[in-house]
Amino acid sequence: MKGDEKWEIHGCNMAFWREDAIKVNGYNEDFVGWGPEDKEFVARLLNLGLEKRFLKFGAIVYHLWHKLNSRENLSLNEEIFRRTKESKVYFCANGINKYLSNC
């Protein structure tokens, strides 16, 4: 996979194993508003050593309607994504584990 192609992710066409999502602590809840939170999540999965698979025309896609988030924090959100890619970190501090510990 070439350079930036590795980071090309579209959240509406994505699936992952629950166990892998928990290993990286799910979505990073430091994101506020619109931004590349799905790309940052996948970046951490890739940093963990997992690989992407392409299923073009091999799966059914559903998209749930939702209101659009504000883009006010877009530059901050893009910075979180950039740092994740560059640092090769695979675990975020503000994620799903705070919900799982109560189960």
pLDDT digits (tens, 9 = 90+) for 42-82: 999 999 999 988 777 777 777 788 888 899 999 999 999 99
Query: Above 70 in pLDDT, residue 41?
Result: yes
Query: Above 80 in pLDDT, residue 24?
Result: yes
Query: Above 80 in pLDDT, residue 92?
Result: yes
If one counts the domains in the chain, the total is 1
What's this model's pTM, rounded to 2 decimal places? 0.85
- The parent domain of residue 44 ranges over 3-100
Query: Above 80 in pLDDT, residue 100?
Result: yes
Per-residue pLDDT, averaged over 9-36, amounts to: 90
CA neighbor of 31 nearest in space, from 65, 60, 70 = 70
How far apart (Å, rounded) are the C-alpha atoms in residues 9 and 45? 12
Could you tell me if 26 and 42 are in contact, meaning their C-beta atoms sit under 8 angstroms apart? no
CA neighbor of 28 nearest in space, from 8, 45, 52 = 45
Task: Give me the pLDDT at residue 93, please.
Answer: 97
